[in-house]
Chain A
């Protein structure tokens, strides 16, 4: 199985500041035939189902604020929240869908400092 390693486990950021979450895959997630990285990012708030915010590593879902962005390729990826808002407090997961089973990282808890 492809192992997804996220860092840090948690981070506290001041309102309006940048939050950066890293995700490393044990295998290459880039499929050259389709020029895509098979990686998604989810936001999971307590008491709610997860919410997809990015897939194909950097494609933002409809309605997701543009302060959320994804970057990286191959085995190393980053989710950036450019200006943290109070409503962004959540656990964030990366997920690969390059191989079966799909696998998630262990999650990164984002809080307000």
Chain B
């Protein structure tokens, strides 16, 4: 059974960075892209980017360029998302999610982590 387990809630000050982990199990880690999606309070879903665990290729949404970093550790089947220069606008629930697969491109996400709440406040 596929599982994605994320690290716990974080409280950060403006200007700080946050690093969230997403430990996967139940499938071949390198065969499926991992997406990151966030949801700010009262808002909809926002796709942030994805990483290909096989080769480390990353694609980020332009608006996060320069402050978003994704990485993977194939030895532990874990993906990491690091967001720097945090502002109050980054307060959100962050999800990692496994791609459906079966394609050479990132498609949709059919297995999700439980979400990690990041609160940015002075």
Is the C-beta of A49 less than 8 angstroms from some C-beta in chain B?
yes
**CB atoms of B47 and A103 under 8 A apart:** yes
CB distance from B23 to the nearest CB of A (A): 15
Q: Does A77 contact B (CB under 8 A)?
A: no
B9 at the interface (CB under 8 A from A): no
Size of interface on A: residues with Cβ below 8 Å to B: 22
**A42 CA to B37 CA, complexed, in Å:** 13
B112 touches A102 (CB 8 A): no
Asked whether B44 lies within 8 Å of A101 as measured between CB atoms, the reply is: no
Interchain CA distance A73-B47 in the complex, whole Å: 22
Is B95 touching A95 in the complex (CB atoms < 8 A)? no
**B115/A49 in contact, CB under 8 A:** yes
Query: Interface with B: A11-19, A79-87, A104-112, which one?
Result: A104-112
Chain A nearest CB: distance from B57 CB in Å? 12
For chain B, the count of residues having a C-beta within 8 Å of the partner chain is 23
Q: Are B49 and A101 in contact (CB under 8 A)?
A: yes
Q: Closest CB of chain B to A60's CB: distance in Å?
A: 11
Q: Which residues of the other chain, A, contact B61 by a CB distance below 8 angstroms? A: 101
Q: By the criterion CB–CB under 8 Å, are A49 and B108 in contact?
A: no
Tell me the complex Cα distance, A103–B63, Å.
13
Closest to B115 in A: A49
Chain B, residues 96-122, CB within 8 Å of chain A (1/0): the string is: 010010000111111011110000000
B82 sits at the interface (CB 8 A): no
A61 touches B110 (CB 8 A): yes
Known: A50-B95, A100-B59. A93 touches B100 (CB 8 A): no
Instruction: Please tell me if the beta carbons of A55 and B108 are within 8 angstroms of each other in the complex.
Output: yes
Cross-chain pairs A/B with CB under 8 angstroms, 13 sampled? A49-B97, A50-B95, A50-B97, A50-B112, A52-B100, A55-B108, A91-B44, A95-B108, A101-B49, A102-B35, A102-B106, A104-B47, A107-B45
The chain A residues found within 8 Å of chain B, CB to CB, are 38, 40, 42, 44, 49-52, 55, 61, 91, 93, 95, 97, 100-107
